Amino acid sequence: MPAPTQPAPSYSKCYALKEIIYGFWATKVTYTPDKYPDLTGKTAVVTGCNTGVGKEAAKLLYQKNCNVIGVCRTESKGLEAAESIKQEIGNSKGSISVVSGCDFLDFTTVPQAGKRIQEILAGKPLNIIIHNAGLMSSSNAGTSKQGLEAMFQTNVMGPQLLQHYLDPVFLKEDDTSLKRIVWVSSGAHLLGPSQYGIFWENPGFDGVAIEKRPAATTLYGATKAANILQAKAWATRNKEMVDKIGCVSVSCYPGNLRTDLQRDWHPWTRATVGRLFYPAEYGAYTELYSVLSPSLTTSDQGKYICPFDQVHEPRDDVKEGLQNGTDLALWDWIESEIKEYIS
């Protein structure tokens, strides 16, 4: 089992509360689409492209003439989203390709998706990666095909596995004018367990009876803490090439948003809480700040971007985990768990 490098420090519950409140009353968007650069000739991979924030991010990229490779599970939904974006935007020099069949609840589907992305690129540069796809369940009972807790496999392990198939085409000295990757986290990391936000004894709850799992909100919080740690760990594990090509890897909390993430919530809860949430496009503003803003540089590896274009600190223990090697401990454990699916 993985282990943190040292016991986690305590964290300020007042700061956590302040950040939770901030999510509902975030500062006004300042990095708006009119400030985005022209992305002609650039290519972006966006997971979870068929709905919600992923679709909105793909739309904004395409509007700026980017070639978007959207990754999703269901082909018909991906193609429908792509056609909808093309119809809405109309004139764009970019393109939208759909890679379907990628289901993070089944590791065996990820390699073929990664290889298909490589085929579509056909030697062209890959500039942007947005690990947007995610699962936020109201139940703690979800279990993947590999027998792991569904949210941890979907939100944490799946993206890290896919990244293995993106690294060979991303970490290259081709178009180094723009190289960005964002691991989509959440303010929900504040609700994760006390040791760096991770259940270190068994992060994926492999073999653990459902009745012995924590509440769904805590499980989800743990996955979002993990995403923050992954952003820094990936940059560290690939430091030589990351520095050479000027790549920036960050995590982001898109915001409290009305999206399909809440699809299995009770209708009354969705209706009530939804009034306090922002439209999905606001989450795309956060993601695109993370991958386009010139204010972020290689000195910002692992930074935590908050709604909608602000840099905040994550919870104190998670922040410490970015500095003391705990992020690498989690990364390396995941590597050991997914290695059989890497070819």
Q: What is the pLDDT of residue 268?
A: 60
Identify the three-state secondary structure at position 226: helix
For residues 61 and 35, is the Cβ–Cβ distance under 8 A?
A: no
How confident is residue 262, by pLDDT bands cut at 50, 70 and 90?
A: low
How confident is residue 265, by pLDDT bands cut at 50, 70 and 90?
A: low
Q: How far apart are CA 234 and CA 22, in angstroms?
A: 28
Q: What is the pLDDT of residue 259?
A: 66
How confident is residue 267, by pLDDT bands cut at 50, 70 and 90?
A: low
Identify the three-state secondary structure at position 19: helix
For residues 37 and 65, is the Cβ–Cβ distance under 8 A?
A: no
The yes-or-no verdict on residue 277 having pLDDT over 90 is no
pTM: 0.95
Mean pLDDT of the chain: 95
Tell me what the mean pLDDT of segment 20-35 comes to.
Answer: 94
Q: How far apart are CA 292 and CA 279, in angstroms?
A: 21
Tell me what the mean pLDDT of segment 177-197 comes to.
Answer: 97
For residues 318 and 330, is the Cβ–Cβ distance under 8 A?
A: no
Tell me what the mean pLDDT of segment 58-75 comes to.
Answer: 98
Give the pairing of strands 310-312 and 304-306: antiparallel
Task: Give 311's strand partners.
Answer: 305
Domain ranges of the chain: 13-341
Tell me what the mean pLDDT of segment 287-296 comes to.
Answer: 98
For residues 171 and 127, is the Cβ–Cβ distance under 8 A?
A: no
The yes-or-no verdict on residue 263 having pLDDT over 80 is no
How confident is residue 43, by pLDDT bands cut at 50, 70 and 90?
A: very high
Mean pLDDT is lowest, of 271-280, 288-297, 308-317, for 271-280
| Residue 241, φ and ψ in degrees, nearest 5 | -75, -35
How confident is residue 254, by pLDDT bands cut at 50, 70 and 90?
A: very high
Class of domain 13-341: alpha beta
Tell me what the mean pLDDT of segment 64-69 comes to.
Answer: 98
Give the pairing of strands 180-184 and 128-131: parallel
How confident is residue 274, by pLDDT bands cut at 50, 70 and 90?
A: low
Over residues 99-132, the pLDDT tens digits come to 999 999 999 999 999 999 999 999 999 999 999 9
Q: What is the pLDDT of residue 273?
A: 63
Over residues 207-249, the pLDDT tens digits come to 999 999 999 999 999 999 999 999 999 999 999 999 999 999 9
- CA nearest neighbour of 110 among 148, 72, 83: 72
CA 310 to each of CA 59, 68, 271, 293: distance values in angstroms, whole numbers, following the listed order: 22, 25, 28, 11
Residue type, 128: I
Tell me what the mean pLDDT of segment 28-49 comes to.
Answer: 97
For residues 74 and 100, is the Cβ–Cβ distance under 8 A?
A: yes
Q: What is the pLDDT of residue 1?
A: 67
CA 121 to chain centre: 21
Q: What is the pLDDT of residue 258?
A: 74
